């Protein structure tokens, strides 16, 4: 255990960085892991705790140069944990309001398109009804 604590100045930031980066590259593709990052949050929090524990337990046994390395590793690990927590629990919920994204009560211009069966469909055919328009690009 003593040798593991000696390596906490580089091992903890590495674990924290991998936990932080993997959220945005791997786990964001899966909704159950993106919405509740139960893999990433524990890894960056444990890495931060490991860095703090390594710094506190080795403080009196290491020289000034190594103290700076341990302190830098701890600050990096805690920073990665803080950034991930800030992103997941604050920035993820900062969505634009409805008034910023859509203009309500504005009528769409009339147009005619062919549907999937080749029949012509006009927007005026759906007057006084709620309509959701979805345009796909591609060839089927």
The per-residue pLDDT for range 8-61, each reduced to its tens digit, is 778 999 999 999 999 999 988 888 888 888 889 999 999 999 888 888 887 877
Res 48: pLDDT:
92
Res 46: pLDDT:
93
Q: Are 40 and 92 in contact (CB under 8 A)?
A: no
CA distance 115 to 135: 11
What pTM value is reported for the model?
Answer: 0.63
CA distance 73 to 75: 5
CA distance 106 to 97: 17
136's CB contacts (< 8 A; 6+ apart) are none
Token readout for 47 is: 């890495």
The per-residue pLDDT for range 60-108, each reduced to its tens digit, is 777 777 788 888 989 999 999 999 999 988 988 887 666 655 655 567 7
């Amino acid at each position: 255990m003593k040798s593991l604590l000696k390596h906490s100045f580089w091992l903890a930031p590495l674990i924290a960085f991998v936990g932080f980066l993997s959220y945005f590259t791997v786990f964001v593709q899966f909704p159950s892991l993106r919405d509740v990052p139960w893999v990433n949050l524990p890894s960056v929090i444990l890495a931060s705790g490991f860095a703090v524990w390594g710094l506190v337990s080795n403080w009196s046994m290491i020289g000034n140069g190594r103290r700076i390395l341990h302190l830098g590793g701890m600050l990096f690990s805690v920073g990665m944990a803080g950034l991930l927590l800030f992103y997941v629990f604050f920035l993820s919920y900062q969505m634009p309001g409805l008034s910023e994204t859509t203009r309500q009560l504005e009528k769409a211009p009339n147009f005619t398109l062919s549907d999937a069966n080749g029949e012509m469909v006009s927007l005026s055919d759906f007057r006084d009804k709620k309509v959701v328009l979805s345009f796909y690009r591609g060839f089927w």
